[in-house]
Structure 1
Amino acid sequence: MIKYALQCDAAHEFEGWFGSSSDYDDQSARGLVDCPICGSRGVSKQIMAPAVAGTKAQSSAPAIDPKAREMMMTALGEVRRHVEDNFDYVGDAFAKEARAIHEGTSEERGIYGEASPTEVKALVEDGVRVAPLPPPAPKKTDVN
């Protein structure tokens, strides 16, 4: 496993774990690497200090229990389904509609849709509460 420090084009920093360097390159090229904060696929690797082995044994990253991972993925899928079933889809008018709801000029309701990283950043800076929708579960053929 390899851990990369990543940053999206909206300057959100996060980490990603990949089976190998080529796994990151492949997944990035297929648009499977996105920002967990804003959903942007404009993600790049950041400069990292290499891990240098010392004289003491270093522990590796803890293994993720497959049952816990499955439970988390199921919960994220349920959140997405709930939003899709109960909220209004507003497409690329999301930023405009979210701002209108925040300002009280549009009906208070749950919405979802698309917004650019710049639009999301402006909403957050203005105090509009937004969160990324969990992505749909990847097809088993799309992951390694």
Structure 2
Amino acid sequence: MIVFDLHCREDGTRFEGWFRSSADFEHQREGGLLMCPQCGGGQVEKAVMAPAVGRKGNQLVEKRPAQSASAKAVPMDAQPQETAVATMAPLSDEAKKALVAMAEIQRKVLEKSRWVGGKFADEARSMHYGESEAQPIHGETSIEEAEQLIEEGIEIAALPFPVAPPDAVN
């Protein structure tokens, strides 16, 4: 997985997105699948990202005096207590309610669906061509394989929220 900082050109919101690859990001962007979490706009692009470059081992650590009585001296190589994940405007109450409702709908749909894991494309084809009984399934497949299924006329849909395999759930 790769994490990109993203930027909405419509309202300026910055947020992060996780993708399988740069090509996956481009495919989703070109397909209109990326939306701003704040305004719902589709003008999403990569934001400028600062690389996280560590200090060289041969560099001297500059010791600076504490700026206030409450400040503590922390060695340069000390691990931070907390890590900032992303800076993003808080979601509105309406957006939160919508996400909760979507998650609940997905949960109910998946209760009646069978997990097929990485065999999703094979199972979908088998049902489409009448080789096995049609039933709701969910699983994993590559973007390329999903595109091939669609080209064959097999109806599929991406789930809005990630799903953990049943054997990986506590």
Task: State the TM-score, normalizing by the size of structure 2.
Answer: 0.47
Question: For the structure 1 residues 136 and 76, does the alpha-carbon distance in structure 2 shift closer, same or farther, using more than 3 Å as the test?
Answer: farther
Moved segments of 4+, more than 6 Å: none
CA contact (8 A) 2:37 2:91 kept: no
Give unpaired runs (5+ residues) of structure 1: 27-62, 138-144
Structure exhibiting the larger radius of gyration computed from Cα positions:
2
* Structure 1 position 68, deviation (Å): 2.0
Counterpart residue number, 2:93: 67
Query: Which protein has the bigger helix share?
Result: 1
CA contact (8 A) 1:2 1:18 kept: no
Deviations 1:31-51 (A, max 9, x none): xxxxxxxxxxxxxxxxxxxxx
Partner secondary structure for residue 27 of structure 2? coil
Distance 2:122 2:108 in 1: 23
* Structure 1 position 136, deviation (Å): 4.2
Distance 2:24 2:129 in 1: 28
CA contact (8 A) 1:94 1:115 kept: yes
CA contact (8 A) 1:90 1:111 kept: yes
Distance 2:137 2:37 in 1: 33
Distance 1:76 1:3 in 2: 22
Question: For the structure 1 residues 18 and 108, does the alpha-carbon distance in structure 2 shift closer, same or farther, using more than 3 Å as the test?
Answer: closer
RMSD: 3.8
Question: For the structure 1 residues 71 and 10, does the alpha-carbon distance in structure 2 shift closer, same or farther, using more than 3 Å as the test?
Answer: same
2:24 maps to amino acid = C
Match among 134, 142, 148 for residue 122 of structure 1: 148
1:88 maps to amino acid = R
How many pairs does the alignment contain?
100
Task: State the TM-score, normalizing by the size of structure 1.
Answer: 0.55
Higher relative contact order (CA closer than 8 Å, sequence separation 6+): 1
Is 1:8 paired with 2:24?
A: yes
What percentage of residue pairs aligned between the two structures are identical?
29
CA contact (8 A) 1:77 1:136 kept: no
Question: For the structure 1 residues 105 and 16, does the alpha-carbon distance in structure 2 shift closer, same or farther, using more than 3 Å as the test?
Answer: same
